[in-house]
Amino acid sequence: MADATGNIAAKDYGFDTPQKNTVYELKGANNYDWGMKDRLSRVFDQKSGKTVMLAFDHGYIMGPTSGLERIDLTITPLLEYADCLMCARGILRTVIPPTFNKPISLRCSAGSTILTELNDECVGVEVEDAIRLNATMMATMCAIGGKYEALTIRNLCKMIETGLRYGIPTLGVNAVGKELVRDARYLAMGARVIAENGAQVVKTYYCEEDFEKVTAACPVPIVIAGGKKLPELDALNMAYKAIDQGAMGVDMGRNIFQAEDPIAMIQAVRSVVHENATPDSAFQMYNDLKAAN
Ligand code: R5P
């Protein structure tokens, strides 16, 4: 135990070496507090700066969709390949092993299902429970341009306020309504509105034309949702183009867990996101891994 007598006198003051301030390179994040940066640095890989988030929170609005009937059987084998999980607390508590020990983006908004009207939501998970679950990020739906725009922006702001209080980043997800056109003009506006309200990460869809305008005009990292299941090569193509045009990762669900070989697919997606593999070489990797399984 330290005491006041017999200590070696301090002498290594490094007078010639000024203390360095570290810069946190993640887009827009340098002025955040330490805890916020620490959490974000667990989501975005230190080397590539990117992330492969595995989304399987669909059940909170859709029930047991294809590939998510038994998350213990279908998602557990994928965990080791994901940088971060996006899920709801019911599944996290009941199915995901607490020894998983990787970042969790916790779905914290709730309210309606595909059977009624989507996005009529509230903040369904309070920050205390997010902390109890050791969530790294809290996620909420934002219906920009939709009927529940004001309500979901209020939810976003509430989550950001509580997140800032405890150093937990908020992921704002732009839930694009069926009536809206997913073009760069709309997606850029949605992403920007979510970021201007203070979200530290934005999740949005990819669009074929001018996606670089969406990422350029958003001051925080964008991760793309995969959307409906596509042929594997097309999904890899989309991930490649999104990253090439400034996305900092994917938060992908159906295009991974509904793939013919989900374990091969998540590894192929990783090679695109973290190693800039071309869609063709990632697809080759997918087929090789699938053949070997
Ligand atoms: C939708 O309810 C969730 O936010 C999903 O996490 C999101 O849509 C990403 O999943 P997918 O890649 O299947 O679109």
Segment (H or E) for 109? strand 109-110
With b for 16 or more beta-carbon neighbours within 10 A and e for fewer, the 120-135 pattern comes to ebebbbebeebeebeb
Is residue 108 within 8 A of residue 124, CB to CB? The reply is yes
User: What does the pLDDT look like over 270-283, one tens digit per residue?
Assistant: 999 999 999 999 99
Ligand 1 within 6 A of CB of 226? yes
Ligand 1 within 6 A of CB of 173? yes
How far is ligand 1, taken at its centre, from the CA of residue 2, in Å?
A: 53
Catalytic annotation, pick one of 27, 50, 203, 241: 203
Is residue 211 within 8 A of residue 177, CB to CB? The reply is no
Ligand 1 within 6 A of CB of 251? yes
Q: Band of the pLDDT at 23, cuts 50, 70, 90?
A: very high
pLDDT score at 176 = 80
What mean pLDDT do residues 216-228 have? 97
- Domains plus CATH for the chain? 34-40+48-292 (3.20.20.70)
Active-site residue, 203 included: yes
User: What does the pLDDT look like over 121-135, one tens digit per residue?
Assistant: 889 999 999 999 999
User: What does the pLDDT look like over 75-91, one tens digit per residue?
Assistant: 999 999 999 999 999 99
CA distance 231 to 226: 12
- Which atom of ligand 1 is closest in space to residue 251's alpha carbon? 9
How far is ligand 1, taken at its centre, from the CA of residue 284, in Å?
A: 26
Ligand 1 within 6 A of CB of 253? yes
- Which atom of ligand 1 is closest in space to residue 227's alpha carbon? 14
Residue 16 has pLDDT above 90, yes or no: yes
What mean pLDDT do residues 21-41 have? 96
User: What does the pLDDT look like over 88-119, one tens digit per residue?
Assistant: 999 999 999 999 899 999 999 999 889 998 89
